[in-house]
Amino acid sequence: MLLIQAILNGIFIGSVYGLIALSLTLIFGVMKIINFAHGSFLMIGMFTTFLFTSLTNYNPYISLIVVCPLLFFLGYMVQNFLIKSVLIAEQDIREPIGVLLLTSGLWIFLDNIFMVFFGPDYHALPAPFSKLSWSFGDLILINKARFFAFLVSCLAALILHFFLRHTELGRSIKAVGQDREMAGLLGIDVYKIYNIAFGVACAIVGIAGTLLTTFYYVHPNVGGLFGIKAFIIVILGGLGSIGGALLGGIIVGLIESFGAQFISATMTEGLIYIIFLSVLFFRPSGLFGLRYEW
């Protein structure tokens, strides 16, 4: 029965991984930007939730009202003032690494600015919240916070899918991702779409941050590991595929959870890297992604 518990936990945490990977694949798929700062945006979302909840004592899920617009705004600004000029300068280079380096610098900058202001202490939401759970018999405990995280992640993925497919803005984003010049020729303001897409992606990762805060600790460096896992999931699920990202996240969550039953928890990290490398070498287009072309 421990196995069922592991499976459930894996699915729940995996859905949050998937949500983070979803936002990353939006950025990666539309703008071909490697965003190493994604973990930092997650961390900003987590801190916002934590501060909001500490100051107002409301339910943490209410902080979504603050987190989403704030992160959207932040993402929009970062893309507009920081990344755009480097993108324009590098648009003719086949393998633009300038943005990769820029976002790496941003990652280190953001993580450590928060370290300076908030210190290296670990924070967590007030105790009762993360411990509530339902129990089925004696054997299966479903942690409420993780379960809600799973629900909200799936809901957010569905909303995003609907947004991309059935709204004008969403379709513009998809168009820009598929063929930038053509989209520009059709009258779409490509750079404004980039800004909006980046903002939306940051808002989504903010949601993931809020969800994580309900059962995970908050610390300035917490984003790094999630960021790297998100990349692994994006490549596993395939570039540009939203369903793939969510599914990939759940798979990674399951592997971690399962693996932890048989090998030590620190080794499961290595397992993820091994899987990542195998996917990269043998099936670079991932499970659901577009054909690998570079």
Partner 1 sequence: MNVKKYNFPVLFILALFVLPFFFSSPVLLHVLILVYFYAFLSMSWNILGGFAGQLSLGHAAYTAIGAYLSTMLFLRWHISPWVTMFGGGIGASIMSVIIGYPCFKLRGAYYALSTLAFAELVRVLITNTDSFLGFQINAARGLLLPVMGHAPGYFQFVDKQYYYYIILSFCTILTIILYFMNKFRFGYYLAAIREDQEAAEALGINVTWCKLLAGIMSSFFTGIGGVFYAQYVLYISAQSIGALHISLEMAFISIVGGKGTIIGPIIGAFLLTPLAELTRVYLAGTYMGMHLVFYGGVLMLVVKFMPSGIIHPLRMLYEKIITS
User: 80-118 b/e with 16+ CB inside 10 Å = b?
Assistant: bebbbebbeeeeeeeebeebeebbeebbeebbeebeeee
Q: Tokens 């570079």 belong to which residue?
A: 294
Backbone angles phi, psi at 133, to 5 degrees: -155, 160
Q: Considering the complex, what minimum distance in angstroms separates the CB of residue 23 from partner 1?
A: 17
Q: Which is nearer to partner 1, 155 or 267 (CB)?
A: 267
Nearer to partner 1, 58 or 273 (CB): 273
Instruction: For partner 1, give the closer residue by CB, 186 or 277.
Output: 277
Q: How far is the CB of 39 from partner 1 (least distance, A)?
A: 12
The C-alpha atoms of residue 207 and residue 47 are separated, in whole angstroms, by 12
Q: Is the four-CA dihedral 59, 61, 63, 65 of positive or negative sign?
A: negative
Shortest distance, position 108 Cβ to partner 1, whole Å: 4
Closest to partner 1 by CB, 109 or 136: 109
Q: Minimum Å distance from CB 36 to partner 1?
A: 9
User: Which residues here bind partner 1, judged by CB under 8 A?
Assistant: 34, 82, 85-86, 89, 94-98, 100-102, 104-113, 115-116, 119-120, 220, 224, 228, 231-232, 235, 264, 266-267, 269-270, 273-274, 276-277, 280-281, 284, 294
The answer to whether the CB of 97 falls within 8 A of the CB of 79 is no
Residue 79 or 153: which CB sits closer to partner 1? Answer: 79
Closer residue to partner 1, CB minimum distance, 51 or 108: 108
- Return the sign of the alpha-carbon dihedral for residues 279, 39, 141, 156: negative
Shortest distance, position 255 Cβ to partner 1, whole Å: 15
Q: How far apart are CA 195 and CA 77, in angstroms?
A: 8
Least distance to partner 1, CB of residue 16, Å: 21
